[in-house]
Amino acid sequence: MSTSSRRSFLQQAAASVGLVLSASTVATLVAGCEQDESQPTSPGKTYDVSLAAFPELNTVGSIIQTTIAGVNNGEMVFISRIDAQTFVVFSTVCTHSGCGVGLPIDAASNCVCPCHKAEFARSNGAVLRQPTSGSATDLPRFSSTYNASSNVLTITV
């Protein structure tokens, strides 16, 4: 979108909600838009994980813990299989005080931190139960894509 069309768009958008923007405000907003476009986002580093090494992940709903060099500062991650084509990768490091969150004890359970009993969803690390004191946030997730033909999960950090 050109600078003039951005300016026009912003002025029309502001007018539609009853705002009057000064020329300097519009210039600042346009500059902000241009800045976003001129700064390409970092593509991140990618790490390929052959899932042939983890036959337990052949089952939808399964979850493992493993260490992948370069991912999660060397700490373990969970790899959770959501469906035939989708995996979710998230940290095992508890966001409460840093203990290692454990694997679910069975197929119907979630991931529980042994230190203060915070519970996280086995499907994506979302907090389901807060610790006995204080609070935890969702376990950090890592972007991943799965290539079914090669059985390789590519994690981007």
Contact positions vs ligand FES (CB under 6 A): 94, 96-99, 113, 115-116, 118, 131, 136
In the complex with ligand FES, which residue's Cβ is closer, 97 or 150? 97
In the complex with ligand FES, which residue's Cβ is closer, 70 or 140? 140
Write down the least CB distance from residue 39 to ligand FES, Å.
Answer: 36
Q: What is the torsional sign of CA 126, 132, 135, 139?
A: negative
- 3-class DSSP state for residue 141? strand
In the complex with ligand FES, which residue's Cβ is closer, 3 or 97? 97
Write down the least CB distance from residue 96 to ligand FES, Å.
Answer: 3
- Residue 119's nearest CA partner among 108, 107, 106, 128 is 128
Write down the least CB distance from residue 106 to ligand FES, Å.
Answer: 20
In the complex with ligand FES, which residue's Cβ is closer, 81 or 96? 96
Q: C-alpha angle 7/41/9, rounded to 5°?
A: 15
> Counting Cβ atoms within 10 Å, is residue 120 exposed (0-12), middle (13-18) or buried (19+)?
buried
Write down the least CB distance from residue 11 to ligand FES, Å.
Answer: 50
User: Which residues contact residue 94 at a Cβ distance below 8 angstroms, ignoring those fewer than 6 apart?
Assistant: 100, 101, 113, 115, 118, 136, 139
